Amino acid sequence: MNRMTEFESSREDEAARAGWLYYVGGMTQDQIANELGVSRQRAQRLVSRAVSEGLVRVRIEHKIGACLELEAELVRRFGLQTARVAPSLGEAGDSARATAPLAATLLERILARPDPQVIAFGTGRSLSAMVGEVMQRPATEHKIVSLIGNIAPDGSASFYDVIMRMADKLRLPHYPMLAPVISETAEERALFDHLKPVQAVKKLASAADATFVGIGQMNDDAPIYKDRFISLEELRELQGAGAVGEIVGSFFNDEGQPVETPLTARIGSYRIEGGREAPIIGIAAGTNKLAAIRGALSGKLVNALVTDEPTARALLG
Amino acid sequence: MNRMTEFESSREDEAARAGWLYYVGGMTQDQIANELGVSRQRAQRLVSRAVSEGLVRVRIEHKIGACLELEAELVRRFGLQTARVAPSLGEAGDSARATAPLAATLLERILARPDPQVIAFGTGRSLSAMVGEVMQRPATEHKIVSLIGNIAPDGSASFYDVIMRMADKLRLPHYPMLAPVISETAEERALFDHLKPVQAVKKLASAADATFVGIGQMNDDAPIYKDRFISLEELRELQGAGAVGEIVGSFFNDEGQPVETPLTARIGSYRIEGGREAPIIGIAAGTNKLAAIRGALSGKLVNALVTDEPTARALLG
DNA sequence: TCACTGGTTGGGCATTTGCTCATTCCGTAA
DNA sequence: TTACGGAATGAGCAAATGCCCAACCAGTGA
């Protein structure tokens, strides 16, 4: 095991060194191969590995004017604390990829605070992408808390295990939610609710200094349905009750008002209450999420938004 | 003028957008050209401009093991607060380029402190390169102070105008040293010394929360000579008196003890005193600077060092 | 008006890079 | 020992990139 670790680390070392020579030193892969005494292909593989393992971090140090204006307008129109608008990555672009670096910067700002912070996280693709973009910071006494379990009814863990990866990356103590996203029955949910660890996590979450959540849409490609947390019937029921969006397991209609169905009594997530002082940062982009984002903004379920250019235009247009 | 600014900014916008699409979006330059509706060549130029104008920032998020060990050993051996060792960029590599990102990270840590900081800067190529690597931060109430003027005897300003560029980049109030580096006579120097602004700057400098300085070598390619601040005779005189290095205009021998010649009475820089609590960070790399760095470390003229791998090895070897 | 300077543009081409594929290497199990 | 699966390796090639050049454009001063 120890050997394994050493081996891995020396391999990462090599990749990092290749990445350094390539990106900082501006050398060609041939030169790097020469410098490190390996073949050209190996140099190329090392560089590409350095990129894919996230050892190389690229950031754009310039606020594009158009995006700045959109941000200001979003803040004004929806009474937000903060808005971040990522430049469009084009038609085919992946919006989670676009928002991730901006969201990561917001998170880093929180992490940089000198006094211990409690930071709460939801789940979702956008959050997951954000994790990859966060740069490692010297850990202080912060705590990170999960707002929702990630065990699906079939017992499988969700792909987007935000909190574990985040905790691992930042070496921070973390408090996962020890409950299934959706219990079998309302009774079972109540049972979990009274568990001490769950209580403790909810208490932490309610006092979080910052909260990061994704905003899920409730049309037919709803993530919560696609990831098999709920069935098609349950989705239809929610849609019928007017649900247009979802934030950590709480459904809301186009005015941001809570939507209740028999299902909602079985959901094991912490419900964030609106109107908090501390930032509640929603991360969501894509035209298919428009209705959900509009609802969340109307109901002031979030007080900060990270989105992308086309989505911002659509929200304001 | 205003038009000019707008024009420039929209051009930068375009470059930033191209850089964003290329590096964050992972698109090819052809796709970018298509997306922005410009020719392929223009897209390529925009991307390359984004890089050269520093709009794109690349950083390696991995401490290479070998460098870490060197850092620890430097700290131990020379009783430093901090040491940073950049991986080598190879024989032909530019050492200022290598140290710059690391130095910038140290500076950023200071800048991130919540309470107002006073940060003092020397001059030199290493410091100059560092400026380019600093990412823009939301300005707080920090102040930046120059430890030395940058006017050569012939009236020309030095190339490496660290403090102006830094102030410009970070939008921080700055306090340049309003005096020539080297006055004609000791009397002239005393005159400048008594000027109120000079006094004020020195007072600030003496209370600086952090100080960044380059370490200049005193062999025949001494920067202070190459940049025409002193004549060959003066250089020879200093060498004869045992000077092996220079920090913001103060010369020292191989034990770090001050070296005085008639020249030194004419130098208009603030002399940093050793043994301070606040970090005094020396940035220097390259085998031709070895003697200078050794001297500075012996005399504890700095309490933190940023250097590169071969230099660190040589210092410890 | 005209020549000239400084900068921008797109075409063409050499270099660099990313990727696929067949091969080899290594550890494991039969 | 041999067969086998998975990872690493290097060759070769197509795509992508960077750079040079000739043409062009706008502003400037004679």
Q: Does B139 touch chain A (CB under 8 A)?
A: no
Residues 6+ apart with CB under 8 A from B226: none
Residues 6+ apart with CB under 8 A from B219: B239, B288, B291
Asked whether the predicted pLDDT for residue A235 surpasses 80, the reply is yes
B56 vs A61: CB contact, 8 Å cut-off?
yes
Q: What is the mean pLDDT of chain B?
A: 83
What integer is the mean pLDDT of A225-250? 89
CB-nearest partner of B65 from A10, A63, A136:
A10
What integer is the mean pLDDT of B253-275? 84
Name the pLDDT band for B95 (thresholds 50, 70, 90).
confident
What integer is the mean pLDDT of B221-244? 89
> Can you list the domains of chain A with their CATH numbers?
2-52 (1.10.10.10), 65-316 (3.40.50.1360)
What pLDDT is attached to residue B7? 40
Asked whether the predicted pLDDT for residue B55 surpasses 60, the reply is yes
Asked whether the predicted pLDDT for residue B9 surpasses 60, the reply is no
Strand D reaches within 7 A of the B47 CB:
yes
Give B97→chain A minimum CA distance, Å.
Answer: 7
Asked whether the predicted pLDDT for residue A153 surpasses 60, the reply is no
Q: Which of B212, B193, B213 shows the shortest CA–CA distance to B203?
A: B193
Asked whether the predicted pLDDT for residue B140 surpasses 50, the reply is yes
Radius of gyration of chain B (CA): 21
Question: Shortest CA–C1' contact from B45: which nucleotide?
Answer: D18
Strand D reaches within 7 A of the B34 CB:
no
Asked whether the predicted pLDDT for residue A7 surpasses 50, the reply is no
Instruction: Measure B17 CA to D5 C1' (Å).
Output: 46
Asked whether the predicted pLDDT for residue B282 surpasses 80, the reply is yes
Name the pLDDT band for A2 (thresholds 50, 70, 90).
very low
Local structure of B17: helix, strand or coil: helix
B60 vs A65: CB contact, 8 Å cut-off?
no
B60 vs A55: CB contact, 8 Å cut-off?
yes
Q: Which residue has the higher pLDDT, B67 or A270?
A: B67
What string of H, E and C letters represents the secondary structure of A209-273? CEEEEECEECCCCCHHHHCCCCCHHHHHHHHHCCCCEEECCEEECCCCCECCCHHHHHECCCCCC
Segment of A142-156, A208-222, B4-18, B150-164 carrying the highest mean pLDDT: A208-222
- Structure confidence by residue, pLDDT tens digits, A46-80: 898 888 888 888 888 877 778 888 998 999 999 99
Q: Which residue has the higher pLDDT, B266 or B152?
A: B266
Asked whether the predicted pLDDT for residue B164 surpasses 60, the reply is yes
Amino acid identity of A24?
V
Number of A to B CB contacts under 8 A, please give it: 123
Asked whether the predicted pLDDT for residue B149 surpasses 80, the reply is no
Asked whether the predicted pLDDT for residue A31 surpasses 70, the reply is yes
Count of Cβ atoms closer than 10 Å to residue B311 Cβ: 25
What integer is the mean pLDDT of A223-230? 83
Name the pLDDT band for B137 (thresholds 50, 70, 90).
low
- Structure confidence by residue, pLDDT tens digits, A59-68: 888 777 788 8
Q: B residues 15-34 near A, CB within 8 Å?
A: 15-17, 19-21, 23-25, 27, 31
Parallel/antiparallel/unpaired status of strands A143-146 and B304-308: unpaired
What integer is the mean pLDDT of B268-290? 86
What pLDDT is attached to residue B123? 85
**Proportion of chain A above pLDDT 70, given as a percent:** 91
Q: Is the dihedral of CA B262, B265, B267, B270 positive or negative?
A: positive
Q: A residues 59-98 near B, CB within 8 Å?
A: 59-66, 87, 89-90, 93, 97-98
What integer is the mean pLDDT of B135-162? 67
Phi, psi of A133 (to 5 degrees): -95, -10
What pLDDT is attached to residue A1? 32
Asked whether the predicted pLDDT for residue B252 surpasses 60, the reply is yes
In this complex, the residue with its CA at the shortest distance from the C1' of nucleotide D17 is B44
Strand C reaches within 7 A of the B42 CB:
yes
Instruction: Measure B271 CA to D21 C1' (Å).
Output: 53
- Written as six digits, the tokens of B142 are 């920090």
Q: Which residue has the higher pLDDT, A274 or B85?
A: B85
CA separation, residue B127 to residues A249, B102, B159, B199, B282 (Å)? 51, 11, 12, 24, 9
Name the pLDDT band for A302 (thresholds 50, 70, 90).
very high
DSSP strand E in B36-151: where? 56-60, 82-86, 118-121, 143-146
Helices B40-52 and B29-36 cross at an angle (nearest 10°) of 100
What pLDDT is attached to residue A166? 83
Strand D reaches within 7 A of the A36 CB:
no
What pLDDT is attached to residue A3? 34
Residues 6+ apart with CB under 8 A from A144: A118, A119, A120, A121, A163, A166, A167, A170, A172, A173, A174, A175
B25 vs A114: CB contact, 8 Å cut-off?
no
Least confident of B49-58, B98-107, B216-225: B49-58
Instruction: Measure B28 CA to D14 C1' (Å).
Output: 15
Asked whether the predicted pLDDT for residue A26 surpasses 50, the reply is yes
What pLDDT is attached to residue A8? 44
What pLDDT is attached to residue A5? 38
Instruction: For strand C, give the nucleotides within 7 A of a protein CB.
Output: 9-12, 15-20
> Chain B contacts of A57, Cβ < 8 Å?
58-61
Q: Does B113 touch chain A (CB under 8 A)?
A: yes
What integer is the mean pLDDT of B269-291? 86
- Say how many residues make up chain B: 317
